[in-house]
Structure 1
Amino acid sequence: MLLQLSAAFDLQQDVVPWLAERLSAEAAAPVTGQRAGLDPVENNYETLHVVNVERNGKVIYSCKDSKRNVFFGLYDLQTKKNEHLFTFEKDLQVVSCSVNREKTLLAVSFIQSAKERRNELQPASNCLTLLVEIHPVNNVKVLKAVDSCIWVQFLYPIDERNPFPESHLLLISEEKYIEQFHIQVFREDENRVLIRNSGHLPRDRVVEDFVWAQWDMSEQRLYYFVLKKSESILKCIQFYADENFNLIFEVPLEISFGDTGLMLVNFGCEDSQNREMLSKDLNLRVFTSHTGSLCVCYNKKSDAQEQVTYSVFYLHKGYSKTFAAEVGTLEYQSMKNITFLNLDYYVAVYLPGRFFHLLNTQHPDLMCHSLFLTGENEKMNLIPDGPLQSLSGALAWDWCSGKLFRVNFNQTSLLHFLQNSPLDYERLAVLHCVLAWGRNPKVLEVQIIQWIFENMWTCHAFDPIQEFLIASLYWKFCLDISNMDKLLPHSSLRSWNTEIPGVTSVAEEILLPLMKVQSFKGYWEKLNSNLECVKYAKPHLQYNNIVVRREWRNLISEEKKGKRRSTMYFRNILENAVKVISNLEAWTVEPRLALLFQEEDNQQRLLMGLMVSELKEHLLRNLPVQFIGKKKIEQLVLDYVSKMLDLLCQMLETSWRKHNLHSWVFHFDGCGSAGEFAVFHTMTQILDSVNRMCLPLPPGFHTLYMTLGVRCLPLHSLLRYIDDRVLLLTEKGVMKLLKDLDNTEKNEKLKFSIVARLPPFIMQKISQLWDHPVNSHIISRNYVKRLLQKHKRQSRNSTMDKSSFLIEFLPLNYLIEVLTELETARQALNPFEGCDSVDTKFVEEAALKQTTILLNL
């Protein structure tokens, strides 16, 4: 199972034992005064069911005893305790029930039984709504006595600083209006809480002429649809502790209600009796997340068919998608069982045994970031098989079994699926899901890295290293600060054109919600920010490394030419790199197996510092610094780049352990083992992935890579890697190579080939330290090359005294004559700083010595 349903409440386990114990206690006690519970006759609990789940995690349930008296109890999810609320000594069919936060008032609506309504002299109403004082049990006030059904719901203030002495109660009528009652109470004798002015309770008409409503108990919001001409308009009201209520937004949506009648969602738990009162031909849910997303999920029932069609309106993105899933032939009854579950960053849409779709609501633009499973697939099986009623706070109610579940992703199953799926679009979707919901990040990152190494060459539609780096950083850093998720990339992919078997989608633009208030707080501030970004977003809003790549190449080119910009500019960049490395070292607890961060690696430090500088400037330019703070943004940038390097280090560490290189010795002598060869190829893939995104590598990476290349590759392959600039020569690596290898013919050939390819800035240092004929040959060759490049040869007659040359070797004599003439005509700059002994005579001696070596003379 990809979803993990853990029972937070079970009627049979959490309530029945307590009721049985209570029955036994009451059977032995004398009956005096007001009844406190059930009749002391054995109860079969067939009538036991949940009627509501309140915001603070308290479950209200009801039960009838053998005399049909209705008992109301309360179970606290936090304390795991039951308590009795009230008992009606009459047979009632409960429609709805709610208790206020202080547990002093109970609101109940019920349908009277046929026996109660047979009164020829005084006809009784079909539905009664009562307000009961229960602390202690005292007065009962009739709020409504009508023939239509009424649902009740107490408001629970999110700000609970002053919850007493007023309660607010919503009454939802089947006649399509909603009222709010304001109930003031006072405390008498410190034990009795009574309603003040119970004869006249102030009330407001909140909504009129609505056709559908959904209650969000966690955030105290009311979503509802009204029909205006030919349009269906979704509206939302937010209830506050210190205010009355506000209409927050409205938006027209293409949803057909037809003659479905009144529809209510999450106003109590739906039992078999109440479900018959509400139309179920239309399946409609509104879901939000703390990141400011707002989705409307919609499924219209139709006759039996081979496709299930449903729509998701991504209101925070400005478009909708209509999905069609292939499920085979279905009966009408099966079509009713489609379930929508809110999972914060995701919405799950499933039909047991047929399909399971996990829609990424944070980034729904590419289908590969959502998981689509159809057909007979064990991964889509859920517990239970029936539909679940999605509640706020990652809770789901199964009215068939009487269980309340906490819904989470099953990380073990997700990782298993990631490891075994051969399909790229499934891998992408599951990878993002694991990173978004992963627990124990260090362990999770190691498991994903292991999967990457095993599937590095089997992913064709995306680069797993790139996607892991970008997605990990996104899900770790981009959701805590408003708008950060729009400024930093969430994926390495720009587009996805591959079809996904079993499902198709059609996208359409929709109108953005019209916000009806001026000031926003909390979730509404984030939603409004999302809407503003959709309205005014520009292509360059999301950060990329194009500027960093261009600037980095310019700096390297200038450095090779001996040019440098202002000292202050370089100092700031290098200080950024120092901060990143210090930040990363502070995270490191255990010593690293791979030899990293043991040298300067100026190029990587430049790239690191440039990325910090550009990313910081990008965020400061697009984030509200006055609210977030410049220091917080600077620290976030350092953490972002540090975490990137940390992930790259973890890749090397994991590869090191996988191939048993725990005690690997850093030297060039000898041939590489099979493990070293495998690590070298892993580093090649990491290098290629990182270079294409122009991301920095940990200092020391290239030296380590060079060492493994020398040990594992034949000379011609090694030189090809160097010439193609895949393998970069570093000062530390070359110095160690010259020191570790002796001067055998094979090693001298390797040394000559390596040194001949050194960049000038490294050659200047190596030439002074390596006293060898090969070195003299290279110095001479480079001296001649530089000298001839800087001077154009002019026509002349040779006037030199050839008798000065001791050996008659015409090609060499002619070259020496030209060089001497150039030196005489104008003083050539020495290409090797500090090597004053290099001149034409030095070149002549080096050439003759090298010739004798090659001819074995």
Structure 2
Amino acid sequence: MSFNQFLYPHVESCPQPKNHLLLLSEEKYIEQFHIQVVQEDGNRVVIKNSGHLPRERIAEDFVWAQWDMSEQRLYYIDLKKSRSVLKCIQFYAEEHFNLMFEAPLDISLSDSGFKLVNFGYSDLQDKEELSEHLTLCVFTNHTGSLCVCYCPNFDSWEQITYSVFYFHKGHSKTFTTTLGSVDSHVTKGITFLNLDYYVAVYLPGHFFHLLNIQHPDLICHSLFLTENSEVIDMLPHSPLQSLSGSLVLDSRSGKLYRVLLNQSYLVEFLRSARLDCERMALLHCALSHGRDPRRLEAKIIQWISENISACHSFDLIQEFIIASSYWSIYPETSNMDKLLPYSSLLTWDTEIPGITLVTEEIPLPLMKVHSFKGYWEKLNSNLEYVKYSKPHLHYNNSVVRREWHNLISEEKTGKRRSTVYVRNILDNAIKVISNVEAKNLEPRLTPLFQEEDTHQQLLIGLMVSELREHLLRHLQGVEKRKIEQMVLDYVSKLLDLICQILEASWRKHNLHPWALHFNRQASAAEFAVFHIMTRILEATNTLFLPLPPGFHTLHMILGVRCLPLHNLLHYIDHGVLLLTEAAVTRLMKDLDNTEKNEKLKFSIIMRLPPLTGQKICRLWDHPVSSNIISRNHVKRLLQNYNKQPWSSVMDKSSFSVEFLPLNYFIHILTDIESSNPALYAFEGHDNVDAKFVEEAALKHTAMLLGL
């Protein structure tokens, strides 16, 4: 018995091409035949020298072989001293082939016979014999992944064990799943399916597992469904045979299917999922197959807004922002999974019901060629990363956090470094903000990007700068302009997602611009939006991500409207609400001077930085603000004052009030102002002089005495 397979049957390099036939013999050898056809008697085509066809021996003593028709690759296993070694031969249209790699496999194979995969249907696939033979498949995809999926003979139907060798990651995972019940009417036989970034493992009637092969580190990034799931009921209950690509054959009906992950169904499934691990897996799966990202993100944001506190193992907003930003630029280069975070989680300790998992390091494939192209170049890059880059290279904002705090501290002390450095950072931020606004085709409901929030602009610009340096350092062979555009798109995506979440909440609760006025009570809708904004702030603060300029002002205004004064001040003191100049200006101008509002304004002013406080005080026409302005003026005048001998006789006619201590003090200030005009004429102190100080002191005293 032998099995035949034509190589490159569709190549039309010449009118009468040379065909190549791959022959696998029951005597455990593989040969390639070169067949030349000639045209005779018009349209008659015959094989030239059919009795003496040129041939080449490809392999000997193999126990398993798989043919990948779409990529023209032959995988086979031979036994060397009872050790299973996986090998791959790549065939080319130019009539040559290469042994690409050898990889040891820690599995038990018998040399008494052999099994063939994807060479056509055979008797071994009859349902009576499926459970007596192991299942072994090799899957690859365009990112340079190499997975070997292995399920040994079943010893028991109480639980099933299978392994996946993630060669592109340098480890294997062995999964053991417990079967709830054994239905004698369900045909036995496990199926592995190649679904691009995922491998599906399916046992009819019992379980369906969707394994994330691009990010297999955390088990929660894979989906594990049991027999009680609706998905199991939807799938065929007969044996499936995995073919090249995503094709499967239902051997019972004889139908051929192409298996795809349905994005709409994934989102609906996300809505009904009850476990955190399922929500995590479905969120990533939906985003990785986003063919219409904007529409998909809108659906996920709607679900997040309805389930904001549903997940206890991870922060939904964090995970969505990080994962969606990652997948938005992932196709740009295959190395993004090594350089950018794809999840907000570093570990996952929660057990997944019915699944146990063992992870082991495995020897890497030994590449047998030295020049790589296409898939092989990406696989080799993955292997080199596993070999030499054990520490994670994922970007994080720790450097940005430190530098941002340094810049803010310098601003407070007035000792900021080179203006060129700061200008470059702010230019980065301007590019990002312009990019976000250019991609926003609809009018924005929320008042974002309407003010210059220097602190957030510094954070945006610093992130652009640090991320660009990170990618330039580790992305070899990618031109600088492309990297700069990727960084710009990535940071823009982060900001845009935050805007989308806030816009969706604003739209859901039907808020209008009058929601930001102080002449009415806050509604339940405003409370809901304030809560969403607080959750966004919590999520971004933990990861130290930038926020859209105007976010803190809007959050502060809603906080004033929604919170009692003691709660508001508690939020301010703990950094939940930030006193932006725009928000405080609104408060001083829009709130009247009722007793409640006076208390609020005074509490706010006393919490402002000195320079900002001096500026804001001038907006509030009140004895308290005049007192603060006067104190600051006096402090400035007297900070370098040296006491001089004074005449005991003062011209009392110049004072309107007989209040000797105050008169004496005002006399000193007047003398300083007249003798040192430079101390008086400093920026922002117009109309503030000794006369202003005197009037402010008298008004404040009268207010304190209740006069």
TM-score by length of 2: 0.92
Q: Is the contact made by 1:319 and 1:510 (CA closer than 8 Å) also made in structure 2?
A: yes
In 1: Cα distance, 2:285 partner to 2:202 partner: 17
Q: Is the contact made by 1:305 and 1:328 (CA closer than 8 Å) also made in structure 2?
A: no
The 1:199–1:771 alpha-carbon spacing in structure 2 relative to 1, beyond 3 Å, is: same
Aligned to 2:147: 295
Aligned to 2:336: 484
- AA of the residue aligned to 1:517: V
Deviation at 1:708, TM superposition (A): 1.2
Q: Residue 744 of structure 1 is aligned with which of 588, 594, 597?
A: 594
Query: What is the SS of the residue equivalent to 1:302?
Result: coil
- AA of the residue aligned to 2:275: L
Deviation at 1:157, TM superposition (A): 6.8
Aligned to 2:287: 435
Pairing 1:140-539 to 2, within 5 Å after superposition: 149-156=1-8, 165-188=17-40, 191-258=43-110, 261-270=113-122, 280-328=132-180, 330=182, 336-539=188-391
Query: What is the SS of the residue equivalent to 1:520?
Result: coil
In 1: Cα distance, 2:554 partner to 2:174 partner: 51
Deviations 1:338-385 (A, max 9, x none): 111111111111212222211111111111111122342223334311
- AA of the residue aligned to 2:630: S
Pairing 1:809-824 to 2, within 5 Å after superposition: none
Q: Is the contact made by 1:158 and 1:240 (CA closer than 8 Å) also made in structure 2?
A: no
Q: Is the contact made by 1:158 and 1:220 (CA closer than 8 Å) also made in structure 2?
A: no
Between 1:744-753 and 1:473-482, the stretch displaced more is: 744-753
Deviation at 1:747, TM superposition (A): 2.9
The 1:387–1:279 alpha-carbon spacing in structure 2 relative to 1, beyond 3 Å, is: closer
- AA of the residue aligned to 1:645: L
Aligned to 2:697: 847
Query: What is the SS of the residue equivalent to 2:443?
Result: coil
Aligned to 2:464: 612
- AA of the residue aligned to 2:374: G
Deviations 1:780-820 (A, max 9, x none): 344566788x67x99x9997859778768799799889989
- AA of the residue aligned to 1:644: L
Deviation at 1:599, TM superposition (A): 1.2
The 1:193–1:698 alpha-carbon spacing in structure 2 relative to 1, beyond 3 Å, is: farther
Query: What is the SS of the residue equivalent to 2:685?
Result: coil
In 1: Cα distance, 2:221 partner to 2:111 partner: 37
Aligned to 1:87: none
In 2: Cα distance, 1:688 partner to 1:253 partner: 46
Identity across the alignment (%): 67
Aligned to 1:640: 490
Deviation at 1:595, TM superposition (A): 1.1
The 1:271–1:821 alpha-carbon spacing in structure 2 relative to 1, beyond 3 Å, is: farther
Aligned to 2:581: 731
Q: Is the contact made by 1:304 and 1:329 (CA closer than 8 Å) also made in structure 2?
A: no
In 2: Cα distance, 1:357 partner to 1:811 partner: 86
- AA of the residue aligned to 1:402: G
Deviations 1:144-181 (A, max 9, x none): xxxxx111111127976669511111111122111111
Query: What is the SS of the residue equivalent to 2:260?
Result: strand
Query: What is the SS of the residue equivalent to 2:37?
Result: strand
- AA of the residue aligned to 2:457: R
- AA of the residue aligned to 1:362: Q
- AA of the residue aligned to 1:312: V
Deviation at 1:186, TM superposition (A): 3.4
In 2: Cα distance, 1:802 partner to 1:357 partner: 97
Query: What is the SS of the residue equivalent to 1:184?
Result: strand
Q: Is the contact made by 1:260 and 1:279 (CA closer than 8 Å) also made in structure 2?
A: no
Deviation at 1:740, TM superposition (A): 2.4
Between 1:194-203 and 1:468-477, the stretch displaced more is: 194-203
In 1: Cα distance, 2:16 partner to 2:680 partner: 89
- AA of the residue aligned to 1:557: S
Deviation at 1:637, TM superposition (A): 0.8
Query: What is the SS of the residue equivalent to 1:833?
Result: coil
Q: Do residues 672 (structure 1) and 549 (structure 2) align?
A: no
Query: What is the SS of the residue equivalent to 2:444?
Result: coil
Aligned to 1:835: 685
Aligned to 2:555: 705
Aligned to 1:132: none
In 2: Cα distance, 1:158 partner to 1:487 partner: 39
Aligned to 1:23: none
In 1: Cα distance, 2:385 partner to 2:681 partner: 56
Deviation at 1:612, TM superposition (A): 0.8
Q: Is the contact made by 2:79 and 2:111 (CA closer than 8 Å) also made in structure 1?
A: no
Deviation at 1:687, TM superposition (A): 0.9
Deviations 1:586-634 (A, max 9, x none): 211111111111111111111111111111111111112xx42111111
Q: Residue 582 of structure 1 is aligned with which of 418, 427, 434?
A: 434
Q: Is the contact made by 1:706 and 1:728 (CA closer than 8 Å) also made in structure 2?
A: yes
- AA of the residue aligned to 1:283: T
The 1:689–1:171 alpha-carbon spacing in structure 2 relative to 1, beyond 3 Å, is: same
Between 1:584-593 and 1:728-737, the stretch displaced more is: 728-737
Q: Do residues 655 (structure 1) and 473 (structure 2) align?
A: no
The 1:273–1:781 alpha-carbon spacing in structure 2 relative to 1, beyond 3 Å, is: closer
Q: Do residues 681 (structure 1) and 552 (structure 2) align?
A: no
Query: What is the SS of the residue equivalent to 2:38?
Result: strand
In 1: Cα distance, 2:209 partner to 2:533 partner: 36
Q: Is the contact made by 1:353 and 1:381 (CA closer than 8 Å) also made in structure 2?
A: yes
In 2: Cα distance, 1:537 partner to 1:616 partner: 20
Query: What is the SS of the residue equivalent to 1:541?
Result: coil
Larger radius of gyration: 1
Q: Is the contact made by 1:151 and 1:171 (CA closer than 8 Å) also made in structure 2?
A: yes
Between 1:431-440 and 1:676-685, the stretch displaced more is: 431-440
Deviation at 1:515, TM superposition (A): 0.4
Q: Residue 692 of structure 1 is aligned with which of 542, 547, 555?
A: 542
Q: Is the contact made by 2:204 and 2:235 (CA closer than 8 Å) also made in structure 1?
A: no
In 2: Cα distance, 1:480 partner to 1:157 partner: 33
- AA of the residue aligned to 2:339: L
- AA of the residue aligned to 2:25: S
Q: Is the contact made by 2:304 and 2:317 (CA closer than 8 Å) also made in structure 1?
A: yes
Pairing 1:77-88 to 2, within 5 Å after superposition: none
Gaps of 5+ in 1: 1-148
Q: Is the contact made by 1:181 and 1:204 (CA closer than 8 Å) also made in structure 2?
A: yes
Query: What is the SS of the residue equivalent to 2:547?
Result: coil
In 2: Cα distance, 1:643 partner to 1:265 partner: 43
Deviation at 1:827, TM superposition (A): 10
Greater fraction strand? 1
**What is the root-mean-square deviation of aligned Cα atoms in Å?**
3.1
Query: What is the SS of the residue equivalent to 1:589?
Result: coil
Aligned to 2:480: 630
Deviations 1:181-214 (A, max 9, x none): 1112234577443323333221111111100001
The 1:336–1:175 alpha-carbon spacing in structure 2 relative to 1, beyond 3 Å, is: farther
Pairing 1:780-795 to 2, within 5 Å after superposition: 780-783=630-633
- AA of the residue aligned to 2:160: V
Deviations 1:446-467 (A, max 9, x none): 1111221222222111111110
Q: Is the contact made by 1:787 and 1:828 (CA closer than 8 Å) also made in structure 2?
A: no
Deviation at 1:268, TM superposition (A): 1.4
The 1:438–1:270 alpha-carbon spacing in structure 2 relative to 1, beyond 3 Å, is: farther
Greater fraction helix? 2
Between 1:268-277 and 1:408-417, the stretch displaced more is: 268-277
TM-score by length of 1: 0.76
The 1:256–1:827 alpha-carbon spacing in structure 2 relative to 1, beyond 3 Å, is: farther
Deviations 1:631-689 (A, max 9, x none): 11111111111111111110011101111115655433322211111101100110111
Query: What is the SS of the residue equivalent to 1:341?
Result: strand
